[in-house]
């Protein structure tokens, strides 16, 4: 299996201390910083945007993985790339027929690109664009909030995505996001995920380094 990366979601961080929080993640062994961008329209919550990414870029060398939960992502992907996003993922549900073009736009902006599907969207909807992705993100909760329960149906979708990725023979990461914790992380890895998003499992832990190590080694 590919090297497993832990991507703590800063949605569960203290927003008033974001710089310290991200430095702490890096010191505690995180591999990636997962940035949940929400616009209050595509999802029922609002988080942060370009300026946060731009400022975090200056204080960490970890890759910034920007998960855009916004309508019309095509309007913003170039600016997220410019702000310092290493990888930008966009939802099938926000792009629909445009998905291929939005992914191309991300690539042309110099960032890596990824497609995301919600728990009620079948893998077949993105099957044709998987070969052009650097990463595929399978949601295991409905997006909007941290701390929700893992939806088990995501495991079958991970296996489906893995089969497509293996068949196309390219280096494509498979990310899982939502409700992942020490108890279920071995299952998601076995199903094919190699980039593990964890919000509450990291930020609610007394010892973040131990929590990250436990997720990595499970
Ligand atoms: C949900 C976000 C997730 C979330 C994960 O909309 O995309 O990244 O923060 O948090 P946990 O790990 O607590 O489910
Ligand atoms: Zn996310």
Domain containing 89 equals 5-217
Ligand 1 within 6 A of 36 CB?
Answer: yes
Q: Which atom of ligand 1 is nearest to the CA of 179?
A: 14
- What is the tens place of the pLDDT at every residue in 77-101? 999 999 999 999 999 999 989 999 9
CA nearest neighbour of 32 among 113, 77, 84, 87: 87
What CATH number did the domain enclosing 28 receive? 3.20.20.70
Residue 185 CA, ligand 2 centroid: distance in Å? 16
Which 3 state secondary structure label does DSSP give 32? coil
- On the question of pLDDT at 59 being above 70, the answer is yes
- What's the pLDDT at 75? 98
Q: Give the residue, out of 36, 67, 91, 176, with the most ligand 1 atoms within 8 A of its beta carbon, to mutate for a pocket test.
A: 36
Confidence of residue 2 (pLDDT cuts 50, 70, 90): low
Strand partners, 173: 135
Q: Is the pLDDT of residue 169 over 80?
A: yes
What are 97-136's pLDDT values in tens digits?
999 999 999 999 999 999 999 999 999 999 999 999 999 9
Does the active-site annotation cover 55? no
pTM (2 decimals)?
0.98
Please give the distance, rounded to the nearest whole angstrom, from the Cα atom of residue 139 to the centre of ligand 2: 8
Q: Atom 4 (ligand 1): residue with closest C-alpha?
A: 146
Q: What is the pLDDT of residues 3-47, one digit of tens each?
A: 899 999 999 999 999 999 999 999 999 999 999 999 999 999 999
For atom 7 of ligand 1, the residue with the nearest CA is 143
One-letter-per-residue 3-state SS of 174-201:
EEEECCCCCCCHHHHHHCCCCEEEECHH
Give the number of domains in the chain: 1
pLDDT of residue 3: 81
Q: Would the pLDDT of 175 be above 70?
A: yes
Percentage of the residues of the chain whose pLDDT score is greater than 70: 99
Predicted confidence (pLDDT) at residue 1 exceeds the cutoff of 80: no
């Amino acid at each position: 299996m590919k090297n497993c990366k832990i991507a703590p979601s800063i949605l569960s961080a203290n927003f008033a201390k974001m710089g310290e929080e991200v430095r702490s993640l890096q010191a505690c062994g995180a591999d990636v910083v997962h940035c949940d961008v929400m616009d209050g329209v595509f999802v029922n919550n609002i988080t942060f945007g370009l300026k946060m990414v731009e400022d975090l870029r200056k204080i960490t060398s970890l890759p910034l993985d920007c998960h855009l939960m916004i309508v019309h992502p095509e309007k913003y992907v170039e600016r997220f790339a410019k702000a310092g996003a290493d990888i930008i993922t966009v939802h099938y549900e926000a792009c629909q027929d445009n998905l291929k073009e939005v992914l191309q736009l991300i690539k042309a902006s110099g960032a890596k690109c990824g497609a995301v599907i919600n728990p009620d969207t079948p893998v077949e909807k993105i099957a044709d664009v998987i070969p052009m992705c650097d990463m595929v993100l399978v949601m295991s909760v409905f997006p909007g909030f941290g701390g929700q329960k893992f939806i088990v149906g995501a495991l079958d979708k991970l296996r489906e995505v893995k089969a497509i990725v293996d068949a196309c023979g390219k280096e494509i990461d498979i990310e899982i996001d939502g409700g992942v914790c020490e108890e279920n992380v071995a299952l998601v890895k076995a199903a094919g995920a190699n980039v593990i998003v964890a919000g509450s499992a990291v930020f609610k832990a007394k010892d973040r380094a131990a929590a990250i190590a436990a997720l990595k080694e499970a």
